């Protein structure tokens, strides 16, 4: 999340309702503003609850004229009766990482943002937090140019950089071959990059010393397969609307794939389809079938799709979940916004282990540096000695590409680190309890 604040990502124009807002008016707001939840405010604009599509489906009104059991309680008719309460909220100055952890821990998709007096000032959703993967192509291009200039001594214009939908294409010549694998690795791991195609040549092959030491080992990119949920929950075309709704409730899902007769994913039915489309296209909810309600063709991904690529697909289609399919289009599981966010919500020990491996096998293959890695609450502390001062920027940039890293602080012997990275002469995390052995220690 790179120290982004909730204020950087939240929406400050919020659709909200009062406790007395009628059930049908809430459904209308969902359709009118293309949203899946609204905060419920009291007379002083304090958040007292949240109504989501799941809340609405769970308390859906019976069809007009449908028989009802005598003595059965009346269905809730207002926001105050169906809302989830008390509301889980967040403050604008909290980090995006903290907001994502709170969403993951509580299993929710949105957080009302409140001020010091708990009055509503905005809302942040999982879709908002996924914007870290969705950097504009122009910004990606600028960051790629920075990497080439700072780490490979490439003057502007020597390498053509084209970025389309997060796919980076590089063509040109760089002076030093030894830095090229590192540079390409860092470009691949920049936030928002989906893939990198390189047609770069080198003027000088100075990689002999690299080949003489430990071989460089490619660091795999994070993909859908790393974070997907492997449960395969589906319905077929003939499944009744009521049964689809029950499947969503039973498995706590917001959508479910619809299979064709040959077992391939033919479409997807989501909560909004059940709430809005039956009346418009398929008759009454009780008569509608999944094949009539589903959105088609289904937007799907494969296990080797990058997390950035999956996030872009979700953003384009305003989708909460994507079916994961094999080469034949048969379901293997699904990936949700929450799954993608969990790529950045990793234990400190995992972050530290990946960073040490990245340093040892990608950046310093000779083991000639003494670099200690410490991670606490996603904040990386690097300190030690480097044989080449220019490697400082390489290490700092590399650390920021590791999923789960919130910020990087560094203190190396020799020249100071560049602006934008906190440098300190004090031991990292001074005064904190000793870190677990798996979270801190020198690079092997």
| Residues 143, 137: Cα–Cα separation, whole Å | 10
User: What is the reported pLDDT for 419?
Assistant: 31
- The predicted-structure confidence for 300-314, as pLDDT tens digits, reads as follows 999 999 888 898 888
* Termini Cα distance of the chain: 28
Is residue 45 scored above 70 in pLDDT? yes
Q: Are 428 and 340 in contact (CB under 8 A)?
A: no
**Mean pLDDT calculated for residue range 199-218:** 58
More confident call, 382 vs 432: 382
Matching residue, tokens 């010393």: 209
Q: In this predicted structure, which of 47-51, 208-212, 321-325 has the lowest mean pLDDT? A: 208-212
Q: Give the list of residues 6+ apart from residue 411 with CB closer than 8 angstroms, or none.
A: 381, 382, 383, 417, 423, 424, 425, 426, 428
The number of helices, as runs of H, and strands, as runs of E, in the chain is 17, 18
Is residue 236 scored above 90 in pLDDT? yes
Q: Which tokens go with 407?
A: 């910020």
Is residue 436 scored above 50 in pLDDT? no
**Mean pLDDT calculated for residue range 234-255:** 91
User: What is the reported pLDDT for 379?
Assistant: 86
User: What is the reported pLDDT for 354?
Assistant: 86
Maximum CA pair distance of the chain?
86
Matching residue, tokens 């080797």: 304
More confident call, 377 vs 251: 251
User: What is the reported pLDDT for 205?
Assistant: 65
- The predicted-structure confidence for 116-138, as pLDDT tens digits, reads as follows 888 999 999 998 888 766 788 99
Is residue 42 scored above 70 in pLDDT? yes
More confident call, 366 vs 61: 366
Is residue 409 scored above 50 in pLDDT? yes
Question: What pLDDT band is residue 201 in, cutting at 50, 70 and 90?
Answer: confident
Concatenate the DSSP letters of all residues of 32-101 into one string.
Answer: HHT-SEEEEE-TTSBEEEEEEHHHHHHTPPPPTT----TTPPPPP-BHHHHSBSSPP-EETTSBHHHHHH
Is residue 444 scored above 70 in pLDDT? no
**Mean pLDDT calculated for residue range 191-214:** 68
Q: In this predicted structure, which of 300-304, 348-352, 356-360 has the lowest mean pLDDT? A: 356-360
Q: In this predicted structure, which of 93-97, 146-150, 161-165, 415-419 has the lowest mean pLDDT? A: 415-419
User: What is the reported pLDDT for 391?
Assistant: 77
- The predicted-structure confidence for 145-161, as pLDDT tens digits, reads as follows 988 887 777 887 889 99
> How much is the mean pLDDT over the chain?
80
User: What is the reported pLDDT for 212?
Assistant: 41
* pTM of this structure: 0.64
User: What is the reported pLDDT for 402?
Assistant: 82
Is residue 284 scored above 50 in pLDDT? no
User: What is the reported pLDDT for 160?
Assistant: 93
Is residue 211 scored above 50 in pLDDT? no
User: What is the reported pLDDT for 347?
Assistant: 84
């Amino acid at each position: 999340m790179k120290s982004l604040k909730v204020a950087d990502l939240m929406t400050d124009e919020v659709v909200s309702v009062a406790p007395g807002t009628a059930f049908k008016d809430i459904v209308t707001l969902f359709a009118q503003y293309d949203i899946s939840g609204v905060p419920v405010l009291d007379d002083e604009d304090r958040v007292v609850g949240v109504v989501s599509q799941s809340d609405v489906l769970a308390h859906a009104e019976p069809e007009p004229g449908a028989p009802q059991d005598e003595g059965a309680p009346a269905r809730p008719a207002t926001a105050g009766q169906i809302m989830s309460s008390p509301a889980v909220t967040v403050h604008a100055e909290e980090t995006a990482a903290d907001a994502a952890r709170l969403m993951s821990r509580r299993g929710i998709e949105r957080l009302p943002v409140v001020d010091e007096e708990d009055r509503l000032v905005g809302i942040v959703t999982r879709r908002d937090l996924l914007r870290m993967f969705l950097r504009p192509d122009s910004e990606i291009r600028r960051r790629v140019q920075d990497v080439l200039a700072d780490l490979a001594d490439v003057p502007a214009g020597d390498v053509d950089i084209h970025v389309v939908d997060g796919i980076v294409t590089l063509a040109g010549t760089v002076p030093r071959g030894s830095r090229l694998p590192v540079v390409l690795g860092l470009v691949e791991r920049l936030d928002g990059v989906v893939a990198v195609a390189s047609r770069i040549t080198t003027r000088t092959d100075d990689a002999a010393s690299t080949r003489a030491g430990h071989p460089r080992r490619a660091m795999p990119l994070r993909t859908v397969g790393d974070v997907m949920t492997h449960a395969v929950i589906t319905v077929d075309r003939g499944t009744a609307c009521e049964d689809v709704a029950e499947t969503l409730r039973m498995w706590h899902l917001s959508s479910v794939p619809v299979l064709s007769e040959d077992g391939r994913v033919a479409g997807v039915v989501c909560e909004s389809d059940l709430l809005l489309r039956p009346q418009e296209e398929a008759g009454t909810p009780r008569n509608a079938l999944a094949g009539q309600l589903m959105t088609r063709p289904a937007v799907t991904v494969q296990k080797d799709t990058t997390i950035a690529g999956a996030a872009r697909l979700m953003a384009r289609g305003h989708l909460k979940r994507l079916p994961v399919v094999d080469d034949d289009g048969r379901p293997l599981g699904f990936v949700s916004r929450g799954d993608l966010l969990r790529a950045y919500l990793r234990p400190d020990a995992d972050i530290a282990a990946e960073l040490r491996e990245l340093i040892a096998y990608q950046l310093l293959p000779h083991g000639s540096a003494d670099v200690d890695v410490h991670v606490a609450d996603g904040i990386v502390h690097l300190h030690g000695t480097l044989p080449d001062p220019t490697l400082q920027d390489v290490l700092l940039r590399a650390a920021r590409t590791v999923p789960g890293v919130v910020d990087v602080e560094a203190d190396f012997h020799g020249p100071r680190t560049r602006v934008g990275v906190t440098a300190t002469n004090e031991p990292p995390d001074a005064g904190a309890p000793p870190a677990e052995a798996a979270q801190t220690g020198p690079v092997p």
